[in-house]
Structure 1
Amino acid sequence: MNNIKIAFRSLSRNKGFTFINITGLAVGLAVCIMIMLYVTHEMSYDSFHKNGKRIYNLRASIKMGGNVMNMAYMSYAAGPIVKQNNPVVEDYMRTMVYFRPMVVSNPASPENKFAENKLIFADAGFFNFYSFKLLSGEASEALKAPFSVVISKDIAKKYFGNTNPVGETLIIKTDSAYTYHITGVAENAPSNSSIDFNFVASNTSLLSMKEASMYTGSQEISFGSFGLNLLLKHASDTAALRRNLQAMAKKDKSLGEMIYTLSPITDTHLHMNFGDSSNTRYLKIFPLVAVLILLLALVNYMSLSTARATLRAKEVGVRKVSGASRISIAMQFYVESALFAGISFVLGYCLCYLCKPWFLNVLQLKIDNSFLYSPVVLGLLFALLVLTVLIAGSYPSLVLSAFKPVVTLKGKMSRQAGGTAVRKVFTTLQFAISVGLIICGIIIDRQLYYFRHADTGINRDNIVMLPVGTNLVKNYQAFKKDIGDLAGVGEVATSHYAMYKGYDMFFAAGKTKEEKSIPIANLVADNNFIPVLGLKWKYQPAPNTEITGRNKVVINELAIGKLHLPANPVGSFISDGNNNLQVMGVLKNFNFSSMADELRPFALITLPDTSSFWKKTGCSLFVKINPHTNLPTLLAKMQGIYKKYDRDTPFDYTFMDDAFNQQYKAEDRLAAIFSLFTYITVILATMGLFGLAAFTIEQRTKEIGIRKILGASLSKISTLLSLDFLKLVLLSVIIASPVAWWAMHNWLQNFANRITIPWWVFTAAGGIAVLAAIITVSYHAIKAALANPVDSLRSE
């Protein structure tokens, strides 16, 4: 209790230093807690399943010539075949995520229709295979019958209020409208589940649909629409299963050389998802940043605590003369550090709680509140508190408890007391971290600027893309004409996919043994596609030549070299594996996917505007809008035309430049978070320097008074006092620059199109750090230089 009283007195006596210490440590802890929650949540995916250690995801890849094609989704028949040939497999589960738009209505109020998502089709034992909680209904019976569906708790409340909907029906319109019987209500899927759903329908529903063959596909193991998870009889059976799968692959050569991949379900989120869904690129960066920021905050605390060592020296001397041991004195300062750390931790947790919604919104993540109070998270928070107390109290207690009572009581403590050299190291470390993050932040920003302003070969300005589903395609020609006739619309075009939303692939026959088949990205579009997107010709089609047709193709420049075609390949033929396609023209290379990826060989097949192809597959309508057009009014008119032909499907649109920018959302989020971290490190470093400069200059008050009496000017005194600190900042720039260059050089290797790191980035970062240090130190330096020397020398 005595130690706690002394700690509180120390807190209240030195309010400025207390504020800097507690605030700096609280901010560092808040950042660390936020990142810890994020990383822990990402690492905990699917660990809640009771049989999680025995559930493995099965995927495959196929070698065709010199190319490898990954099979993320497999055929409907793959599950039974694998189980039949592998006795170690206890059960299998096939799930198909329905990616297309769907409309749901309650037959009791058919006029109220809602666009919904997160529909999955699954085998009958879904709720026994996984550990999703059923609030009502029988797990073993819920998904047996065709057109049976289990809905989530939120969906049940949305459509049926607080009544139990089991036994009721919903009309779900996918490719066609079907009436589904509700057989259960499930708790909402946890935020750390790689399987997310609002509706779980039975796979037997798919078999009863007229489009069944499109989904069930081949009766062999092949490409398909279903994710396949296997439940093993024992967790140790993985080696035997892999051997059996290899034996199966050797027997079946129908698709080429197949390689099976087996991974735990807990790895699905981080290692098996395509796209940006898992934020995995942050998991290596953010923990490092969290450690650096917490280290910076702890360094602040230890530096300021030891800097005030001379003020506590006589206290330590009196205690030692009175019989206190070094251990008891060290314990006193540990208690003081624990009090500081405890207050900082509470403030840091409150800051984290307040900033969490923003942080998760930037990362586009959801974390359940129940996860925040799980035993794992609470244990990690406690461990962080203990670690903070141990580190924060270690150095000050060792330094202060080591003072010799004879020296301290005679008042002969030099300015070196309290480890000035160590504090210089601390200050250099702080600014090195800050400068390193500033450099990284600038380079990330430059790379994003390059992505958005590089010439991609496509004119993306003022182009709106409207998705056209199966409900509207039968009236597509009339719809397209009505849109094209609107005032403010320049041209319209049709493509199978919206730009930057996907493309098809075919394999062209290669000319060498090493390249038996060459993957070619291809897109099907109409005649207006090229002019609407502003694509440029390298070799134009011959005059009066029709380029439209199934057996005609337009390629890009890159395809010429990859396919070993003549320099001007117009009139040449390439094979897509089934047909010979005549090359009608060559387009200049353009980026039809992310600038982060390498440019690929590309083929464009143009079909007539009236082609039945659009009716079978759906398409995307590209609308070129004239300059100076009132966009809200025009979009409202487009919506009216859309509803005229399709009342059920919600009207949706995307600007092409927004779709282009959306490809870099991961980098955008990284830049936003990194900017925040950089601001925090600079603030923490300057706070530490502010407190250290105040105390250092306070120690030199008499020196400054003597210099003023001897004629030193204000500028000379300010320069003298600032120079020592500026040397440390410049040293930190020298240390941080090569480390930051190495880190960013490695990061840039992830992008096929990237900037070279400019020299001025290091100068700019150093200039920011030096300017922050000058402003921080100058306040105290000028204040000391302006002080009356009579006051500072009066005690002499």
Structure 2
Amino acid sequence: MIRNYFKIAWRNLRKNKLYAVISIIGLTIGLTVGVLIMIWIQDEMSYDKIFKDAEQIYRVNVDGKMGDNSFYAGYTPPPAGAALVDNFPEVESYTRIYRPNTDVLESKTDDGKHFFNEPEIYAVDPNFLEILTYPLAQGDPKTCLQETNSIVITPQIAQKYFGSNNPMGKILYYGKNKQPLKVTGVLKDLTNLAATVKFDMLMPVNNFEEVAYFNWSWVWLNMATYVKLTDQAAKEPNALARLESKFPEMLRTQAASAFDRIGQPYDEFLKNGNHWDIHLQSLTDIHLRSGDIVSTISDQGNIQNIYIFGLIAFFIIVLACVNFTNLATAQASKRRKEIGIRKVLGSLRGQLIRQFLAEAFLYTIISAVFAVSLVALILPSFNALSGKTIPLSSIFSNGIWLILLGMTVLTAFLAGIYPAFYLTSFNPVHVLKGSITSIKVGVLRNGLIVFQFVVAIVMVISSLVIFTQLKFAQHRDLGYDKEHILVINNTEKLDVGAETFRQEIAALPHVKEASISTGIFTKGAFGDFYVPQTSESNHPVAKDISLSSYLVDDHFIATLNLKVEKGRGFNAKFNDSLSVVINETAAKQIGWENPIGQKIRYPGGNMEYYTVIGVVKDFNLESLHNTILPFALFSKRSKSYDTDVSFISLKYKSDDPQKLIAAIENKWKNYQQDVPFDYSFLNDDLNAAYSSDRQMASLFGVFTALSIFVACLGLFGLVAFTAQQRTKEIGIRKVLGARVSGIVKLLSMDFLRLIILALIVASPIAWLAMNHWLQDFAYRIAIPWWTFVVAGTAALGIALVTISFQAIKAAMANPVKSLRTE
């Protein structure tokens, strides 16, 4: 019987080729999008689940507040892990990650020396690979990081330094002192590994003196700490909450001396409304549920994107099902006699329902085969668009096959259930007598058309808003010049020659200004506590404040064209070693209306007092996702702190910077032969901060185009069928003198009214959705009115083109042939 159902379904498919092609194309697109998004979602949700005992591992985060500034960071002070293990039996073990500054790695082979700047070297505790079980191709995870002069590398690094030779036991030379490191392990390829933390090399953390030096500190937040809880603590309900409730008392004991050392008695710190709390975050939650938690070593996604793209997949599949339903019910007038005869000959309604569901399954199975082939074909392009490295083999994983099977069955059911019940509901006596002259499904069919275009218009409006926000981010005045700024990295490697090198490149043609600083926008900043020492009359005593800062030379403000609102910048004519320039936000948070001449004390170093000599207009340190923070510029002559990192920024006026870069690189080699010249353009660095947003926008744009295509595909089929149904009417109208334009209007108006209704319904939905999405940006656009106009005009225009193609064809047909049509 089942075989017979599918045989009849195949005959009907061949008989109604246009209907079949439109339905299959729509279902194929729906399933293709569904499979691609499911693969993407599966990859996003699988992060860190590859590690052994992942459910027992947690990252330690610090939630802090000082004055008006709050932060939540995926970093801890160095002693946090050991303190948790020592004080709480629920914490079984810990391991830490420290990310040092970019440094040079050198190898010596038969064909000479090889030097590379390596930014992805992480320093870790010896047990790192035992807790976070990254797969090793060679070496023992228990011993490979035990020795101080050891290093574990990826296959890519092995190939880069040693070619096809076995890297085990080979020596690499690290940093300025060319410290020899022996290769004791080779990781498996991490490219496709779903892990939030990826790296090129691992070396023991005890190679870095600064970590050992700050082992007293509970405010030096430069370590990522992971703890492993006991099996019982990880599984027992509410155990995590009970454990975290004990942390404040532990901090009061452990951190008190550290806060005293920086001039911030801990109890007084808390009484002033501040806090310094520790929380545990599940390892498997880090990638998607980190929200505003700051981390520069974790690949952090957004759970909101899972919901967005999951809805897109669902709606595009539903659009394809709506096409099938609309076209199937539109065909009802053709098939009612078939159904009537079948019922008269004894067919039960259940059998007829199964027949129509079999047809839906046949269409869907054919579409699923095409969809899988299409996914395999376009997966590389999808990876490029989404920034993923999903392998082709993922299509054939058991999980994806189950998802595809479920999607196929669900799609067939959704597409076929209404036509099956509707078409089998006719009374055979009335059908065969011809008393049923029309099929009254207009309300439902029109409702489905409106639904399709509501989805399409919402996605069009959303795409326009997303692209407008990104354009706003790229062109907004950030408070400094970002165009024609070249950033030279690793200039700390020049040591005392850095200033001479800066002077030489500043003298090159086309260079307007050049400056040395310990930081540059988009690449982080030094942050610490400061104590304002005075407040103006009628104002309360200023609270302690957390400031991000750079040490800069006298040329920094001019090079970046920062706008000095009050006072002055640094100048060689003055002794600015104890001077500071702050931004407007810092002045406002402290409560200074006239900041010039006021003082702040730095609790670190020698407890120096710094006098405010200038206020610069606020500028965005990072992307527009982040608010402007209190910021300070200190003169390099102050030497109050040392970040061991340096950049040279230069402003050029050449339209062809490559010649300038070549000239700078030649001068670099005169100063430093063993450090590769490394540079970037500030504008490119800023654009990179929006890479994930652009990827989302690109995917959203593609899915929007597909949703419009699927909606128009169904509209095309319905117009074709309507024109066919009204063939005689059109012929009569032409004989009576109707023009082609009048007939096109006749066939178009009903559909265009539905598109206008869809626009009215879609507009508030799109506004609400985009208003929610924009909340992720600290600085954002107001949703422009023109996006609704453009979306509506585009929808009407595309629909009109779709309708007109068939309407004009029907209107221009020979009326004699039309009137002969049975």
TM-score range, shorter chain: over 0.9
Q: What corresponds to 2:171 in structure 1?
A: 170
Amino acid at match of 1:47: K
Q: 1:149 to 1:545 in 2, by over 3 A?
A: closer
Which one of the candidate residues 480, 484, 489 is aligned to 2:506? 484
Gaps of 5+ in 1: none
Given candidates 519, 522, 534, the residue that maps to 1:497 is 519
**Residue pair 1:35, 1:287 contacting (<8 A) in 2 also:** yes
Q: Name 2:727's counterpart in structure 1.
A: 701
Structure 1 617/143 Cα, relative in aligned 2: closer, same or farther at 3 Å? closer
Distance 1:97 1:605 in 2: 25
> Is the aligned partner of 1:520 residue 2:547?
yes
Looking at structure 2, the residues matched to 375 and 681 of structure 1 have their Cα atoms a distance apart, in angstroms, of 28
- Decide which of 278, 282, 291 is 1:264's aligned counterpart: 282
Identify the match of residue 474 of structure 1 among 496, 500, 503: 496
Aligned AA for 1:657?
N
3-state DSSP of counterpart to 2:289 = helix
Q: CA shift at 1:292, angstroms?
A: 1.6
Contact 1:61 1:259 in 2 (8 A): yes
Q: Which residue of 2 aligns with 1:229?
A: 226
Alignment-derived partner of residue 676 in structure 1: 702
CA drift at 1:447: 1.6
How far does residue 666 in structure 1 lie from its aligned partner after superposition?
Answer: 2.7
* Structure 2 Cα separation of the partners of residues 117 and 73 of structure 1: 19
Larger deviation, residues 187-196 vs 614-623:
614-623
Report what 1:765 is aligned to.
791
After superposing the two structures, state which structure 1 stretch, 470-479 or 699-708, moved more. 470-479
What whole-Å deviation, never above 9, does each CA across 1:439-463 have from its counterpart, x for those lacking one? 1111122222222222233222211
Residues 506 and 158 (structure 1 numbering): CA distance in 2 closer, same or farther, change over 3 Å? closer
Once the two structures are TM-superposed, the CA of residue 266 in structure 1 deviates from its matched residue by 0.6
Is 1:656 the counterpart of 2:682 in the alignment?
A: yes
Paired with 1:503 and 1:117, the residues of 2 have a C-alpha distance of: 17
Corresponding position of 1:725: 751
In the alignment, the residues of structure 1 paired with residue 761 and residue 467 of structure 2 have an alpha-carbon distance, to the nearest angstrom, of 22
Match of 1:213 among 198, 210, 213: 210
- Shift, 1:544, TM fit: 9.2
Q: Deviations over 1:129-163 (max 9, x none)?
A: 23333333333222222212233344345545555
Take 1:304 and 1:122, find their aligned partners in 2: how far apart are those partners? 62
Structure 2: stretches of 5+ with no match in the other structure: 260-265, 267-274
| 1:497 aligned counterpart, secondary structure | coil
Stretch moving more, 6-15 or 37-46: 6-15
Deviation at 1:614, TM superposition (A): 11
The one of 363, 375, 400 aligned to 2:398: 375
Q: Within 5 A, what are the aligned runs for 1:352-751?
A: 352-369=375-392, 371-417=394-440, 419-509=441-531, 516-541=543-568, 546=573, 549-566=576-593, 568-577=594-603, 578-607=607-636, 617-628=644-655, 630-751=656-777
Q: Return the letter of the residue paired with 1:617.
A: D
Residues of 2 paired with 1:528 and 1:747: CA distance?
A: 40
Task: Give the deviation of 1:175 after TM superposition.
Answer: 5.2
1:121 aligns with 123
Mean Cα deviation higher: 653-662 or 43-52: 653-662
Say whether the 8 Å CA contact 1:49–1:130 is kept in structure 2.
Answer: yes
Does the 8 Å CA contact 1:104/1:116 hold for their aligned counterparts? no
Cα distance in 1 between the residues matched to 2:588 and 2:99: 39
SS of 1:458's partner is coil
Q: Secondary structure at the match of 1:729?
A: helix
Cα distance change of structure 1 residues 165 and 624 upon mapping to structure 2, 3 Å threshold: closer
Instruction: Tell me the distance in 2 between the aligned counterparts of 1:216 and 1:358.
Output: 48
Which residue number in structure 1 is paired with residue 294 of structure 2?
A: 274
The 5 A counterparts of 1:778-789 are 778-789=804-815
Give the partner amino acid of 1:724.
D
Query: Is 1:15 matched up with 2:11?
Result: no
1:321 match: 344
What secondary structure, in the 3-state scheme, does the structure 2 residue paired with 1:472 have?
A: helix
Q: Letter of the aligned partner of 1:751 in structure 2?
A: F
Can you list the C-alpha shifts for 1:301-347, whole angstroms capped at 9, x where unaligned? Answer: 22112211222222222222221111111111212111111111122
CA contact (8 A) 1:448 1:668 kept: yes
Give the corresponding residue for 1:199.
Answer: 201
- Once residues 444 and 402 of structure 1 are traced to their aligned partners in structure 2, the CA distance between those partners, rounded to angstroms, is 47
* Alignment check: 8 A CA contact 2:66 2:546 kept: no
Q: For residue 364 of structure 2, what is the aligned residue in structure 1?
A: 341
| 1:558 aligned partner, one-letter code | T
Q: Residues 62 and 70 of structure 1 are in contact (CA less than 8 Å); yes or no, is this contact kept in structure 2?
A: yes
* SS of equivalent to 1:520: strand
Provide Cα deviations, 1:24-61, integer angstroms capped at 9, x if missing partner: 11112211211111111111111122211211222223
**RMSD (Å), alpha carbons:** 2.7
Change (3 A) 1:712 1:175: same
SS state of the match for residue 565, structure 1? coil
Deviation at 1:616, TM superposition (A): 6.8
Code of the residue aligned with 2:510 in structure 1: it is G
Residue deviations 1:714-758, cap 9 Å, x none? 222211111100110000000001111111122222223222222
1:297 aligns to what?
Answer: 320
Deviations 1:494-518 (A, max 9, x none): 2211223222334343657796222
TM-score (norm 1): 0.92
Instruction: Specify the SS of the correspondent of 2:277.
Output: strand
In structure 1, the residue matched to 2:263 is none
What is the letter of the counterpart of residue 782 of structure 2?
Answer: T
- The separation in 2 between residues aligned to 1:101 and 1:545, in whole angstroms, is 31
Asked if the contact 1:81–1:221 (Cα under 8 Å) also holds between the matched residues in 2, the reply is: no
One-letter amino acid of the counterpart of residue 126, structure 2: A
Structure 1: distance between partners of 2:622 and 2:193:
30
Say yes or no: does 1:775 pair with 2:801: yes
1:138 is aligned to 140
Q: For residues 19 and 595 of structure 1, do their structure 2 counterparts lie closer, same or farther at Cα, with a shift above 3 Å needed?
A: same
Q: Is the 8 A contact 1:216 1:224 kept in 2?
A: no
Given that residues 60 and 225 in structure 2 are in contact (C-alpha distance below 8 angstroms), is that contact kept between their aligned partners in structure 1? yes
**Contact kept in structure 2, 1:100 and 1:174, CA below 8 Å:** no
Aligned-partner SS, 1:93: strand
Q: Distance in 2 between matches of 1:753 and 1:408?
A: 64
Q: Distance in 1 between matches of 2:463 and 2:214?
A: 48
Partner of 1:181: 182
1:455-491 CA-to-partner distances (Å, cap 9, x unmatched) read 2332222111111344223321232223123222222
Q: Which amino acid aligns with 1:747?
A: W
Q: CA deviation at 1:612?
A: 7.2
Closer/same/farther in 2, CA of residues 476 and 616 from structure 1, 3 Å limit: farther
One-letter amino acid of the structure 2 residue matched with residue 267 of structure 1:
D
Choose 213-222 or 537-546, whichever is displaced more.
Answer: 537-546
Amino acid of the residue matched to residue 309 of structure 1?
A
Higher mean C-alpha deviation, range 686-695 or range 662-671: 662-671
* CA offsets 1:511-546 (integer angstroms, 9 cap, x no match): 577962223332221111122222223224399995
Does structure 1 retain, via aligned residues, the 8 Å contact 2:356–2:420? yes
Is contact 2:51–2:132 with CA below 8 Å preserved after alignment? yes
* CA distance in structure 2 between the partners assigned to 1:636 and 1:546 by the alignment: 34
Which letter does structure 1 place at the counterpart of 2:555?
N
Q: Contact 1:98 / 1:121 at 8 angstroms: preserved in 2?
A: yes
8 Å CA contact retained: 2:723, 2:807: yes
362-371 or 395-404, which deviates more: 362-371
Contact 1:37 1:372 (C-alpha < 8 Å) held by counterparts: yes
Contact 1:137 1:183 in 2 (8 A): yes
